[in-house]
Structure 1
Amino acid sequence: MIHHTGWGYFPIAFIARLPFAMMVVGVLTLVTSASGSVALGGLASAAVGIGVVIAGPVIGDAVDHHGQRTVLVPVGLINGVLLALFPLVVLSGMPDAMVLIVAGLIGVTAPQAAAMSRSRVIAIIRDRLHPDTRGRTFTRAMSYESAADETAFVIGPFLVGIFASFIAPWAPIAIAAALSFVFVTAFALHPTGVLATSSESETAPRAPFSAVLSPRVLVLVGGTFAVGLFFGSTLTSLTAFMESRGAGADAGLLYGLMGIGSAALALAVAVLPARFALRWRWLVFATVMAVSASAYAATDAVSGLVVTLLVMGLGVGPALVTIFSLAGERSPAGRSATTMTLLASSLTLAQALSSALAGSIAETVSIPLALALPALAALLVLVFGVLNVAVERHDARVHYSVTYASIVAPAGSGS
């Protein structure tokens, strides 16, 4: 892989993920700090997520048709401009409606480097690597990509907490704007953006968009949506909990603890035995999420939150790896970018919506109820895991029936 990508690709692709990972949390932190309302902050972050889910599939489809460079360069630059303007909009006292509109536009122009990186890696493995090495390389590459995603989704809020605590609440968004200008553009212009499109893939027929909406793909979209609910409800409930103790800016630092075990276990998925099938991994790690999130809801001390966040990370990282690995295997022909952006968009939308819901519940009902939301989200991850098993068994039955019919039919017609 490195022979085809170069040593600089993976660091650039990782840093290019950070603006996307910092957007929802940065908007939440800035608006909450400026307005004093967790509910308004949650609505602003939800606007980001809605923008992402509206534009994400469109951007993915455009990339599948026109290539990553053509689409990502202008999208990344526009996104950087909007991020740079957002602190001015919030701190100048503009109406809440204007804040929500600009937040939505930030989501619409989100470049989604993570989905594009996966699409590049899948194409390079498929088109450039020897068939004997594709299977093992694909498993390890997807583990790395998911670990990078998980690390970015945790490091992003962690950086937001650091910059907000030690500089100012507007600093995370301003830094995300700078990263978008520099690293998203560098990622878009990297040679792999061209290398990922081989002559074979250019001439291969592209599946219709309806193929992306098949049950075997939509169950994965549901899984990432549930993981997004888990991320958003955890962060916002944690923010509300710490805000009630006068340390709201430290929430991002505590949230970063979840990434320690999460990133490590996400990388460790690559060495799990092949007989531990992806469908069973989903169920096992979702169960870890549900049990630890239940403990998170029951605690009322910061020390208890620290322990439960560490354990929660042991489940969510591998679960995310598993779902995206399945997506890499199930992407319809010529639709890898569309599929990956659809999953990434559903994750971000859910993160934003759950942030809004958790913020509203924490402010108008109670913080303990908000702390229970991650357990419900983890349970939903488990439900989609069960549905995935059902979808796989249905597909297996259909495949067996078609194969059996193709064998028997010629004999029957001959008689």
Structure 2
Amino acid sequence: MFRTRPTSSVLIRSAGLSYFPIAFIARLPFAMMTVGVLTLVVAERGSVTLGGLNSAVAGLGTAIAGPLLGAAADRFGQRRVLVPVGLVNAALLGAFPFVVASTAADAAVLALSVLIGMSAPQVAPMSRTRLMAVIRRSVQRDRREKVLNGTMAYESAADEMVFIVGPFLVGLLAVAIAPWVAIAGASALTFVFVTAFALHPTGRLHPGTDAAATTQAPARELFRFRLPTVVVGTLGVGVFFGATLTSLTGFLAVDGDGDSAGLLYGVMGIGSAVLALGTAALPERFTLKARWLAFGSLLLAAAVIYAFARSGTGLVIALAVLGCGVGPTLVTLYSLGATLSPAGRSATTMTMLNSAVVVGQAVAAAVTGLVVDRLGINAALTGPAVAAAIVVAAGVAHAAARQRVAEPEREPVPA
């Protein structure tokens, strides 16, 4: 009976139908956080520089604390980590509008932004870790790799959609009601849906080392050469996201259309999400290493076109092609991260990758903004190409490392 059911049905049945909408909505506050902080600080304090700095330190706080939260989840289980962290983050988000509107010093606002970032619940990497556990438990060994790739494709597409919907909600609420409403909404969503995600039955599938049947690998296994190359690759993707959105905003702002940047950015985001899902249909002989190099090279070529675009039409064409490259690349990097994760360190690995994207996006947004102001928009448009070059270089280094150690092209999902 088990053997006749499609593996995708087994995964859905094992996780439960309620899991996927809960996990999707629980990611929204994370996507709303940096944009919401930026929008609120600019509106209340009248400083774009201060707003950008608050957004950047929130992202950096997430990058610093993310792997630590992942390690804690590996050690103690997701529920014990996510419930208190989610409640703390909801409270900090709820307090943020009051602090920004008060006479508190800018340093106090920055400190609160750091704490918001550090306490941000790592729902996306935790979801990947849970679904990996479902696959190990419910899917036949000879089909696990295919299901894993399809699952990573779905997770990356969900991330793409969240990072489109989140900023859109922030802008909509800010324009329709007030800038503080977006942060208040993020607080409410965190309190309800992150808690629901933490307490979902799938949380028992990743109980932590104390109850695990296998011994947790030493932390040094996380820093063997191949896994850090994947982290650098995801860092490059984060830099790409930050550089693209900021340079696009700067380009359109020249003609007073900066507010429409989100709409054009959606051209890339939608295409990226669709192609990310499409990677599940790629043949297994198209290995993860080959996918990284192929789609990374496509990303680099499209980024070069983007760098030389001087019209709205040219940008739209470049963004559409960029989406075809970045979505599959991100799926590939997360799939590699899953296969290379040391025993008992899956949550740590996933949060390392997620934090790399966040820190790359935050730093690139800040740096690209300075480039726009000081060197001009043409210089800023080259940023995505630099980021894509990082992605490709990391892929080449990863491929070279695999050849040196003479390992198989693709590793099975750990049992």
State if a TM-score over 0.5 links the two structures.
Answer: yes
Q: 1:5 Cα deviation (Å)? A: 1.0
Q: 1:336 Cα deviation (Å)? A: 0.2
Map 1:394-405 onto structure 2 (within 5 A): 394-396=404-406
Q: 1:388 Cα deviation (Å)? A: 1.2
Residues 285/181 of structure 1: CA separation in 2 closer, same or farther (3 Å cut): same
Is 2:203 the partner of 1:193?
Answer: yes
Task: Check whether the contact 2:67–2:352 (CA below 8 A) recurs between aligned residues.
Answer: yes
Is 2:316 the partner of 1:336?
Answer: no
For 1:177, the equivalent position in structure 2 comes to 187
For 1:380, the equivalent position in structure 2 comes to 390
Tell me which moved more, 9-18 or 201-210: 201-210
- Equivalent residue of 2:179, what SS? coil
Aligned pair partner of 1:295 in 286, 299, 305: 305
For 2:379, the equivalent position in structure 1 comes to 369
Residues 355/83 of structure 1: CA separation in 2 closer, same or farther (3 Å cut): same
Is 2:218 the partner of 1:208?
Answer: yes
- AA of the residue aligned to 1:309: L
Is 2:41 the partner of 1:31?
Answer: yes
Residues 200/49 of structure 1: CA separation in 2 closer, same or farther (3 Å cut): closer
Distance 1:87 1:364 in 2: 31
Residues 159/305 of structure 1: CA separation in 2 closer, same or farther (3 Å cut): farther
Fraction of identical pairs, as percent: 53
Aligned pair partner of 2:402 in 385, 392, 408: 392
Distance 1:134 1:178 in 2: 37
Distance 2:20 2:60 in 1: 29
Show CA shifts across 1:56-93 (max 9, x none). 11101110111111100111111112222223333435
- AA of the residue aligned to 2:195: T
Tell me which moved more, 84-93 or 225-234: 84-93
Task: Check whether the contact 1:157–1:255 (CA below 8 A) recurs between aligned residues.
Answer: no
Map 1:62-81 onto structure 2 (within 5 A): 62-81=72-91
Structure 1 unmatched ranges of 5 or more: 401-415
- AA of the residue aligned to 2:267: L
Is 2:28 the partner of 1:18?
Answer: yes
Task: Check whether the contact 2:74–2:345 (CA below 8 A) recurs between aligned residues.
Answer: yes
Tell me which moved more, 375-384 or 238-247: 238-247
Residues 164/243 of structure 1: CA separation in 2 closer, same or farther (3 Å cut): farther
Residues 18/106 of structure 1: CA separation in 2 closer, same or farther (3 Å cut): same
For 2:276, the equivalent position in structure 1 comes to 266
Aligned pair partner of 1:280 in 290, 302, 324: 290
Tell me which moved more, 240-249 or 227-236: 240-249
For 1:406, the equivalent position in structure 2 comes to none
- AA of the residue aligned to 1:325: S
Show CA shifts across 1:339-382 (max 9, x none). 00011111101111111111222223322222221111111111
Aligned pair partner of 2:357 in 323, 327, 347: 347
- AA of the residue aligned to 2:305: A
Map 1:33-48 onto structure 2 (within 5 A): 33-48=43-58
Task: Check whether the contact 2:76–2:208 (CA below 8 A) recurs between aligned residues.
Answer: no
Q: 1:25 Cα deviation (Å)? A: 2.5
- Equivalent residue of 2:120, what SS? coil
Is 2:15 the partner of 1:5?
Answer: yes
For 2:161, the equivalent position in structure 1 comes to 151
Task: Check whether the contact 2:76–2:210 (CA below 8 A) recurs between aligned residues.
Answer: no
Aligned pair partner of 2:94 in 81, 84, 96: 84
Q: 1:170 Cα deviation (Å)? A: 3.2
Task: Check whether the contact 1:39–1:363 (CA below 8 A) recurs between aligned residues.
Answer: no
The Cα RMSD (Å) is 2.2
Task: Check whether the contact 2:78–2:206 (CA below 8 A) recurs between aligned residues.
Answer: no
Residues 288/165 of structure 1: CA separation in 2 closer, same or farther (3 Å cut): farther
Distance 1:68 1:13 in 2: 13
Tell me which moved more, 348-357 or 122-131: 122-131
Residues 353/281 of structure 1: CA separation in 2 closer, same or farther (3 Å cut): same
- Equivalent residue of 2:406, what SS? helix
Count of matched residue pairs: 399
Q: 1:29 Cα deviation (Å)? A: 3.2
For 2:260, the equivalent position in structure 1 comes to 250
- Equivalent residue of 2:121, what SS? coil
Show CA shifts across 1:302-354 (max 9, x none). 33333322221111111000000001111000000000001111110111111
Tell me which moved more, 176-185 or 116-125: 176-185
Residues 200/105 of structure 1: CA separation in 2 closer, same or farther (3 Å cut): closer
- TM score, norm. by length of structure 1: 0.90
Residues 126/33 of structure 1: CA separation in 2 closer, same or farther (3 Å cut): same
- TM score, norm. by length of structure 2: 0.90
Distance 1:118 1:273 in 2: 22
Structure 2 unmatched ranges of 5 or more: 1-10, 410-415
Q: 1:386 Cα deviation (Å)? A: 0.9
Aligned pair partner of 1:162 in 172, 177, 201: 172
Distance 1:248 1:153 in 2: 18
Q: 1:201 Cα deviation (Å)? A: 7.0
Map 1:40-119 onto structure 2 (within 5 A): 40-92=50-102, 94-119=104-129
